[in-house]
Structure formats: structure tokens, C-alpha cells
A and B are shown apart, each in its own frame.
Chain A
Amino acid sequence: MDTVLRAEGVDLFYGEQHAVRKADFSLARGEVAAIMGSSGSGKSSLLYCLAGVLPPTNGTVSFEGVPFSTLPDEELSALRRERIGFVFQYGELLSELTVEENAALPLRLAGIDKDRAHVIAAQVLRRLGLGELLRRRTSKLSGGQAQRVAVARALVHRPDVVFADEPTGALDSTNAAQVLDEFLQLARGQRTAVVIVTHDADVAARADSQYTMSDGVLAQRVAV
């Protein structure tokens, strides 16, 4: 297996609070992994450790064999910009930008020309059924539409890994299922690995591998 992301013995403390305890994790290229757990179990903290946003107190997180801790901030930012994508629970779209401009953001951040970035973003958005809404401001979208734009933004630059923190947590069940379908279909189509943090067992069931998290302890669920 071609491992793209690996965590070994990761500990994370917030002051006295031990949020993540000796977590080991690995993710292959194109694999979809789900981390389940209740609120406050430490799953989001682990996600941001895996994404290189929060430096672990102990242990190592490596991307394609290179530990994040050896990378200077500029290179870490460049890695997130070019090789990693994010989907947040509430989208966190820029309300003043149009759908197309939001989706094109990672490409623009990577230095791609405005016109070309918009062409690529429009292609992804059309695949997600948002072709009619390219010029609309995201403040005028429904929750499901906004989350699709967030998915497009996460995948538009064909990252190696997408981290999704409760990607359907703010949607109703019908919309949630549709958005998740489209998200995973698009990710698998371009062999992008995905780490989903969720408390929804239905969402986790769509993953290739499942983990549970409780009181900061990560455990892999073995399919029976």
C-alpha cells in the first residue's frame, strides 16, 4: 500500500488536559478513513494534528514519509495549499465571494491565473450540480448548496488528502447523504485520500476504514 499519511505515538495536551493519547494512524492513497467519537472525545484535535495544523506534544506525523515537525511554516503552508484540502462543518465559505470565486480559491492561492482557476473551478462545480450558480454569492445559497461549494473548494486542486470535520453535520439527513455521495465519488475519482471526523455512524459506514475515539484514545474498528 502507498501510505500518504502516517501518525505514530501522537500525544496532544491542552495544558493539563490530555486530548489525544498515543495515537497511531496511517492512510493510503485514495483511502477513505472515518474517525468516530462523541463530542469532546478528541477527534477534531487529532484531525488538526494529522493535517499539520496543531503540532503534537509527543509523537510524529509524516506526510509521504516527511515529518511535519521538520518543515518550516512556509513549507507547511505550501503543503496545505497544494496537497491538502479541508471541508468544515459550516463550510466557512467567504460570503462576499461568488460560488466560482470560492471554489477557485485554492488554485488562486497556489498562484494559478485567475481565468484558468475559474475555468477549473467551474468544471468541478458543474460535476457537483452547481453549474447554474457560478456567479451567485454564497450568502444566498442553501446549506446543502454551500456545503457542495465547500467540497468543490476542497477538491478543486486535486489534493492528496482531504480532511473533513463533520462535513455533513449541519445538514438534514437527505442533504447529508447526497453531499456525502458526491464528495466521496469525486474524491475516489481522483484518488484523493479522505479523513472524515464524524459522530454519525451512517457517514462512517461509507469509509474504507473506521476508527473510534474515546477520551483521546484512538482505536481501529475491525470489520466483522
Chain B
Amino acid sequence: MTAGSALGVACLAAVMTIPTIIAAHDARTQAREIEPGKHSNVVFYELLDPYGSQPLQRTFLARKAPGPVPLPPGIERLPAAGEAIVSPKLRRIMATSAGARGLVPGRVIDVIAPEGLGGPDDLYAYIGTTPDRIPDAMPLGSFGIDHPWHPVVEPSTLDILRFTLACVVLLPLVIFLSVCARLSGESRARRLAALRLIGLSIKGTVRVNAAETVAAAGLGAVLGLAGYLGANEVMARVGLPGLRWYPADGRPEWSTLAMCLVGCPALAWGVGLFSARRAALSPIAVRRTAEGRPPRKVGALLLVPGLGVISGYCAMSVMGYDPSGGSASSTLVPCAVLLTGAGLVFGLPSVTAWLARRLAAVSKSLPLTLAMRRTEVDPGSSLRVATGLVLLVFGASLTQGVLIELEQVSRRTAPLQEYRIGLKNLSPAQRAAVARVPGLRDHVVAYESWDDFSDEIRPTVTAIVATCAQLKALTERTAGCQDGRIQQLHDDRAAYWNDPAPGTRFPFTLEDGRKTSLTVPPDRVDTHPYDISVFSSGSLLVPPSLAPRGLSVEAGSMTLVSDADTETVRRVLDGVGALAPTAEVEAVGIAVEALAQLTVVRSLLVVGMVLGLVVGVAAFVVSAADRALERRGQVAALGLLGARAGTLRGVQVVQVVVPLGVGLGGAVVAGWLAKSSYLITGGGAVHWDWEGLPLLVGSAVAVTGVAAVASLPMVRRHVDPEHIRRD
């Protein structure tokens, strides 16, 4: 009980402290957020760019007049023009990367202290400059706002995360603690029954049990908390991908301490009470054992509607129908997922018993027969724990689906990455230099037609100055492009067509303020651009030779194109940042904060899965050990009859592997189908996650293997006749 309680409490403390870590991070980032003011002697300009999958925030500050200025937490003075104060991690990156050094123009005079950073891995810089370098700057009011602009995890996602962690960690944890408490109670039940038989009152018997249980669980809770505190000190220094924290952030709050120190012994007491009351009320019955009831088959029936709906959606997708959208799907899929999960849990004993009966009947192998007969008559004992692992794998599969959906909205899946920069932010020399940044495939310039931004809705068009070769190279498919003439792009896959009609004239502003116009030609180029792209349906493709001279840079943008792999994207952004540090670069389709959140969410979910697996396997091994102890008399008898050690080991392993394998196999299949139905109805491009499947299958096989190997020491080679003697 003590060891189980310690492991359980350490996991519980870890899970409960995750929101605390996130809250501490958000509180510090909130305190440094800038509130614009009206009359200030300092102006600021913020840029948020992706650095890999992590956001890099640069705050340019320029003093317009002398006088007092507000200070953000973590720095002692604002940097003067030509100076910079950066986070420790950014400083380390700058020391090794020339590209990153270009992102921070100026001399680094200091680093930001921890109170001014979300965490040790924050990429943040305060850069001093002059007002003329940041024309779009705003007056600085104060630092610190009410609600965080850049939370580690969005509140809605945090709720999902909490729920998922509760499912993948706390459920197995409760099962594990219950198993430990039950086994601890069972081991005392015979002694308590004996005490009752010699005259101890019912109340006295229950009190003896309560004192023993609470003492053991309480000691375990203290040890578990100590273990967690040690692990926090280590993990805070090592960190998780996307999330590092200061050791103080990870120290449990009073509520967590109370939950661990009170909740765990209370749970142990509650579960132990059951066996103690049984021992107290009917001491004779406790000293005999009865055969368990066969499992009920009703639970498995829940699988029929659950899997039916899920398989139906999968089948529709395979047949080419798109069942996404609609209110029916948003209700049916979650219901079907819940029914499938419940069916797996409640149907597992009967399915396992049925399979064990069939295998025992047909098998010629003695170990298999013995193991299956045992599983047939008592499928529930090990499955109570297998259930936790089955739910974990099922939940992991669904979590993979959620991550895929999140990633689809955070990062484009196209093989090419576009970056958009306003032409007004680049000097002609910078434009020429940016076009040669290493890693780029190509670049084009586009201009928006004139719009007076009045209340009247005026149609506009984008004129893209590019050749047919460029169009072909930068789109998925292009047909019918002819050089030397203006053509209209048309994408037949566009959600809705708003292509301007041929003959429509669009005005474009020139540098001198006059207007020139382009007419939509009847010629169309059928093209399939990557989603989202400058080459959108309805735009005009203008060959460079036919582009009007002197178009206004105010309405122009430069689109750079590179490969979409993370390294290339980082290289390009570094290159552009070094050439034009104050120019805002829009990495098209990359929601940098969503990506950072995704990394954090993924890390936390992985931690949850690992904790869940540890707890689940521990619970399974404890349960299997209990069964082995319970049956050691019969195993000793088999040994005396001359059973080979291999036979006994085979029986033990098969007893572990079959129920676990059936459960995890079912969970992998049902989970994958459930995930697919979720992706199919989610409307994203990815319907079938083949990449996640090997991970789940591998995890299931590993869990089964670990459980099987861990059960082997329970089969001892030495035959001890004492095990078959009774008290």
C-alpha cells in the first residue's frame, strides 16, 4: 500500500501541478504586456515571428522625449537606441547563429531576469531604436494587462487538456490506488476476521483496519510528494519540448498538497473499509473463497451502436463521400466514441472469457490450456486493471486525432511555404537583398487594386506580377498559361467563386497618386494553388513586361516562397530578419502561437500518457502479483507434480498477454476508427492517420511485453511445499 500510494501520489501531484505551472507562466507574460497610452515620451512597435515552432517576440522601443518611463518586469532600464536586452535563451541562440543576431539590431547590454519571462525558454527582446525606424509605432502607456494576450495554452484548450489528462492519468491512478488498497485490505481481511472471531467488535475491527490503511497510505503520500518535489527540481532544469519552467512554478499548491495527503489515504480507507466490513460482518465467509460469477455479456452490446456509427463514417469516407459538417455528426461522433469506450470496458471480460473458452477447447498446448481455463473462470481480476490501460490506448488514439486537427489549423500542410512582406516596409535595396535570402525558391510581387475603404463594398482584384514558369513552379497544378498576356487565375476547387467577370476594369494607384487600370481578360488559367496562397482564384497574372510602371508600394506586397520544412522556414525568417529587422513578415498559414501551444499541449499529453502507462503497468503487475500469490499453493502443487519451469512461466505469461492483448488490440482498432471518424467529420484534409498507428501499436505491444516480462519473476523455479500447507 505504501509503495503504491507513493507512486500514485507522485503522479497525482505531477498532473495537478501542470495548471499551476501554466498559470505562473501566464502571470509573468501578462505582467510584461504593453498597454498603449495617449501621451508618452516612448513609442513601441511589437513583432511576433516564428522561430521554428516557437514564437520570437521583439519589442522595439524608441524614446521621443526625456522623462520617466514605465519599466517591464525583469529589466532595470529601457534600452537606449542601439542597445538591446534579450532573454537568456535568445542570447545563447545569438551567440551561435548569425541569422538570429540579425534579428536583434544593437548591442546586447543585459539579459531579462526570470520575473520578466514566461519561462527559461522564452525568446524575447527589448530593442532600443529611434522613432524614425518604427513609423507604425504606438505610444507606450504601461506594462501589465488584465488578461494574457499570449497564454501558454488557450483556456478552451486547457480545459480539453485537463479533461484528457484526467482520463489518461487520473482514471488509471484511481484504479491503481483502489487495487493497492483492495489488496492491502484483502491481506488484512483474514487477520481482521480472526480478531473478530475472538471477540473484537465490528466498530473495533473497522477502526483497526482504518488505522493500518491510513497510516500506510499516508506514509506513501508523503514519500510520493517528496519524490515529486525531487523530480520537479530535475524536470524544471531539463524541461519538456515547448515548455520549461522555473522550479518554484512546479512546487505544489496547498490544495494539491491537501488532495495528495488527504485524498489518497481517504481513498485507501474507503476501499479498505469494504473488505474490513466484510471481515467484521461475516468473518466465517472471509476465511473461505468462492468461485466468481461469470461476466455479463450486456456490456459488449454497447460496442454495436458505437462501432456501427464510427465504421459507417469511415466507410463513407472510403467510398468517396464527405460526411463532414452538419449538426448530426457533431452529436453522433462523440456519442459513438463514448459508447465504444464504454463497450470496450464493459465488454472486455465477456469477450475475453469467450475467447479463453474457445482457445482452451481447441488448444493442444498445456500452458495455453491452463492459462485460458484460468482466464475463462476469472477474467475480471486482471481486467480491472487492463481496463485502465485499454482506456489509455483508446484515449491516446483520440488525442492523436485532436492533435492532428489542431495542427491542421496551425500549420499549412503544403510542401511550399509563402512569406508576405509589405513593399512599403522594404527599401529597394532591401527588396533585392531579401529576394536572395538562402533557402528561397522564388519570389513574386503582387498589388491590390485601389479601394477607398468607404462603406460601399467595392470589388477588388490582385495583380500578381509573375511568369508562367513561376506560376507552374509555385502551384500544385497549372494548365493553359501563356506568357506575354494578362490572364485570370481560376481554381475550380475554391469554396466559392468570386472571380470578377471578363471586361471589368480595376483601378491601381501609382506612386504619384494617379490611377492606372487593368481589365480582366477573357483568358483563364486553370490552376490549383496550395492552400493558402497568393495565387488565389480570380487574381490576375500579369507578365513582368506588361506590369504598369510606378505602381504604389503602399498597395504592394512581396511574396517569398521556400520549402515548408521547419529548418528552411527558420533559415528564411532569420535571413529576412537580418536584412529588415523591423519589417513584419507574415509566414502564410503558420499560426506561430498556435504552433507553440501545440508543442506544449503535445508535451503535456505525452507526459500524461507516460504517467498513465507507468501507473497502468504498475497496477497490472500488482494485480498479477496478487493473483500469483493467491494461486501459489496450486502452482506449488504443479511444481511438485513435475511441471517444467517453462510450462509455469508460459502459463503466467499467457495469462497476462491474452486479456491485455485482446483489450489493447481492441482499443487500438476501435480508437483508430474513432479517431478517423472524428477527422472525417472535422472537415480537415487528413482523414486517415497512418503515421500515428505504428506508435499506438508499438506502445500496446510494449505495454504487453513489459507486463508479461514483469510477471515472470512471480514464477519461482524453487518449489516450496510450505505454500500448499494451510494455517
8 Å CB interface, B310-368 against A: 364, 366
Interface residues of B in 637-654 (CB under 8 A from A): 637-638, 640-645, 647
What's the minimum C-beta distance from A141 to chain B, rounded to whole angstroms?
A: 12
Cβ of B725 within 8 Å of any chain A Cβ, yes or no, is: yes
Question: Knowing A44-B721, A73-B717, A92-B724 touch, does A80 contact B377 (C-beta < 8 A)?
Answer: no
Q: How far is the CB of B370 from chain A (nearest CB, A)?
A: 7
Contact B641 A80 (CB under 8 A): yes
Closest to B366 in A: A108
Verify B640–A94 contact, CB threshold 8 A.
no
> Would you call B456 an interface residue if the criterion is a C-beta within 8 Å of the partner chain's C-beta atoms?
no
Q: How far, in whole Å, are A106 and B644 apart by their CA atoms in the complex?
A: 11
- Chain B residues lying within 8 Å of A114, measured Cβ to Cβ, are 364, 369
Counting CB contacts under 8 A, is B291 at the interface? yes
- Known A-B contacts A73-B717, A94-B370; the reply to A81 vs B643 at CB < 8 A is yes
A139 interface hit (Cβ, 8 Å): yes
A96/B377 contact (C-beta < 8 A), A84-B642, A88-B724 known: yes
**Cα separation A114 to B362 with both chains bound (whole Å):** 10
With A53-B719, A96-B378 as known contacts, state yes or no: A106 contacts B641, CB within 8 Å.
Answer: yes
Select A109's contact among B376, B643, B719, B726, beta carbons within 8 Å.
Answer: B643
Expressed in whole angstroms, the minimum distance between the Cβ of A103 and any Cβ of chain B is 12
Structural contact, A95 and B291, CB atoms closer than 8 A: yes
Complex formed: what's the CA distance from A110 to B376 in Å?
25
B373 touches A139 (CB 8 A): no
Q: Does B507 contact A (CB under 8 A)?
A: no
Find out whether the CB atom of A139 lies under 8 angstroms from the CB atom of B640: no
In angstroms, Cα B724 to Cα A89, docked, is: 9
Q: Are B637 and A77 in contact (CB under 8 A)?
A: no
Q: A95-B377, A101-B373, A109-B366 are in contact. Are A78 and B724 (CB under 8 A)?
A: no
Contacts across chains A and B counted by CB atoms under 8 Å: 78
Contacts of B376 in A (CB 8 A): 96
With a 10 A CB-CB cut-off, give which of A79, A88, A106 has the most chain B CB atoms. Answer: A88
Whether A53 lies near B373 (C-beta < 8 A) is no
> Which parts of A15-68 form the interface with B (CB within 8 Å)?
44, 48, 51, 53-54
Given A51-B640, A92-B634, residue A101 in contact with residue B721 (CB < 8 A): no
Q: How far is the CB of B648 from chain A (nearest CB, A)?
A: 11
Of chain A, the residue at the smallest CB distance from B644 is A77
Of B374, B633, B640, B719, most A-chain CB atoms within 10 Å: B640
A10 part of interface (Cβ distance < 8 Å)? no
- Are the CB atoms of B633 and A92 closer together than 8 Å? yes
- A81 and B644 CA atoms in complex are apart in Å by 9
Q: Which residues of B contact A88 (CB under 8 A)?
A: 637, 724
Chain B residues touching A, range: 20 to 34
Output the nearest chain A residue to B719 by Cβ-Cβ distance.
A53
- B31 → A minimal CB distance (Å): 65
In the bound complex, residues from chain B placing their C-beta under 8 Å from that of A179 are none
User: What's the nearest-Cβ distance from chain B to residue A88, in Å?
Assistant: 6
A140 to B90, CA, bound (A): 74
Which of A44, A109, A139 is close to B642, meaning CB atoms less than 8 Å apart?
A109
Residue interface mask B618-648, A partner, CB < 8 A = 1:
0000000000000001101110111111010
Question: With an 8 A cutoff between CB atoms, is A86 at the interface?
Answer: yes
Chain A residue nearest in CB terms to B375: A96
Cβ of A85: which chain B residues have Cβ within 8 Å of it? 641
Given contacts A44-B721, A101-B369, contact A113 B364 (CB under 8 A): yes
Shortest distance from the beta carbon of A118 to any chain B beta carbon, whole Å: 11
User: Please, which residues of chain A bring their CB within 8 A of the CB of B377?
Assistant: 95-96, 137, 139
**Within A80-130, which residues are at the interface with B (CB < 8 Å)?**
80-82, 84-86, 88-90, 92-97, 101, 105-106, 108-110, 113-114
A109 touches B721 (CB 8 A): no
* Measured CA separation A137–B373 after assembly (Å): 10
Contact, CB under 8 Å: A44 / B643: no
Q: Determine if A90 and B641 form an interchain contact, defined as CB atoms under 8 angstroms apart.
A: no
Residues on B with beta carbons closer than 8 Å to the beta carbon of A79: 642
Residues in chain B near residue A82, CB distance under 8 A: 642
Say yes or no: B634 contacts A94, CB within 8 Å. Answer: yes
Q: Which of B364, B642, B644, B724 has the most CB of A within 10 A?
A: B642
Closest to B725 in A: A44
For residue A97, which residues in chain B have a CB less than 8 angstroms away from its CB? 370, 373
| Complex Cα spacing A153 to B636, Å | 15
Interface string of B415-432 (1 = CB under 8 A from A): 000000000000000000
In chain A between 140 and 163, which residues have their CB closer than 8 angstroms to a CB of chain B? 153
In the complex, how many angstroms separate the beta carbon of B318 from the nearest chain A beta carbon? Answer: 43
- Picked from B291, B374, B638, B645, the residue with its CB within 8 Å of the CB of A139 is B291
Q: Which residue of B lies closest to A51 (CB)?
A: B640
Alpha-carbon separation in the docked complex, A113 to B638 (Å): 18
State in angstroms the CA–CA spacing of A84 and B643 once bound together: 12
Q: Which of B361-400 contact A (CB under 8 A)?
A: 364, 366, 369-370, 373-374, 376-378
Which chain A positions have C-beta within 8 A of B721?
44, 48, 53-54
In the complex, residue of chain B having the shortest beta-carbon distance to the beta carbon of A97:
B373
A96–B373 contact, CB under 8 A?
yes
- Chain B nearest CB from A41 CB (Å) reads 14
Residues on B with C-beta less than 8 A from A153 are 641
With A94-B634, A114-B364 in contact, is A78–B642 under 8 Å at CB?
A: yes
CB distance from A115 to the nearest CB of B (A): 9
With CB as the reference atom, state the residue of chain A lying closest to B636: A92
Whether the Cβ atoms of B637 and A86 lie closer than 8 Å is: yes
Assembly CA distance A114 to B636 (angstroms): 22
* Contact of A80 with B642 in the complex, beta carbons under 8 Å: yes
Contacts of B643 in A (CB 8 A): 77, 81, 109
Q: Which residues of A contact B638 (CB under 8 A)?
A: 94, 105
A97 to B369, CA, bound (A): 9
Give Cα A74–Cα B644 distance, bound, in whole angstroms.
8
What per-residue 1/0 map shows which CB atoms of B702-727 lie under 8 Å from chain A?
Answer: 00000000000000010101001110
Query: Are A106 and B633 also in contact (CB < 8 A) when A54-B721, A96-B377 are?
Result: no
Q: Least Cβ distance of A14 to chain B in Å?
A: 10
A73 to chain B: which residues have CB within 8 Å?
Answer: 717
Measured between beta carbons, the chain B residues less than 8 angstroms from A54 are: 721
Q: How far is the CB of A156 from chain B (nearest CB, A)?
A: 11
Tell me the complex Cα distance, A105–B725, Å.
21
B647 (CB) vs chain A CBs: closest residue: A109
Interface residues of B in 14-39 (CB under 8 A from A): none
Q: How far is the CA of A44 from the CA of B640 in the complex (A)?
A: 14
Q: For the complex, give the distance between the alpha carbons of A130 and B495 in Å.
A: 79
Residues of B within 8 A of A90 (CB): 724, 726
Which residues on the B side are within 8 Å of A95 (C-beta)? 291, 377, 634
Residues of A within 8 A of B633 (CB): 92
Structural contact, B642 and A106, CB atoms closer than 8 A: yes
A109:B641 contact, CB within 8 angstroms: yes
Taken together as a complex, chains A and B put the C-alpha atoms of A109 and B370 apart, in Å, by 11
Q: How far is the CA of A109 from the CA of B724 in the complex (A)?
A: 20
Q: Lowest 3 CB-CB distances: which A-B pairs, in order?
A: A81-B642, A92-B637, A80-B642
Could you list 19 further interchain pairs (A-B, Cβ under 8 angstroms) beyond the known A84-B642, A96-B374? Answer: A44-B725, A48-B721, A51-B640, A81-B642, A81-B643, A86-B641, A92-B636, A92-B637, A97-B370, A97-B373, A101-B369, A101-B373, A105-B638, A109-B641, A109-B642, A109-B643, A109-B647, A139-B377, A153-B641
Chain A residues with CB under 8 Å of chain B are: 44, 48, 51, 53-54, 73-74, 77-82, 84-86, 88-90, 92-97, 101, 105-106, 108-110, 113-114, 137, 139, 153
Query: Could you jot down 25 A-B contacts, CB within 8 Å?
Result: A44-B725, A48-B721, A53-B640, A77-B645, A79-B642, A81-B643, A86-B640, A90-B724, A90-B726, A92-B634, A92-B724, A93-B634, A94-B374, A95-B291, A95-B634, A96-B376, A96-B378, A105-B641, A106-B641, A108-B366, A109-B643, A110-B642, A137-B291, A137-B377, A139-B291
Interface residue ranges, B against A (CB under 8 Å): 291, 364, 366, 369-370, 373-374, 376-378, 633-634, 636-638, 640-645, 647, 717, 719, 721, 724-726
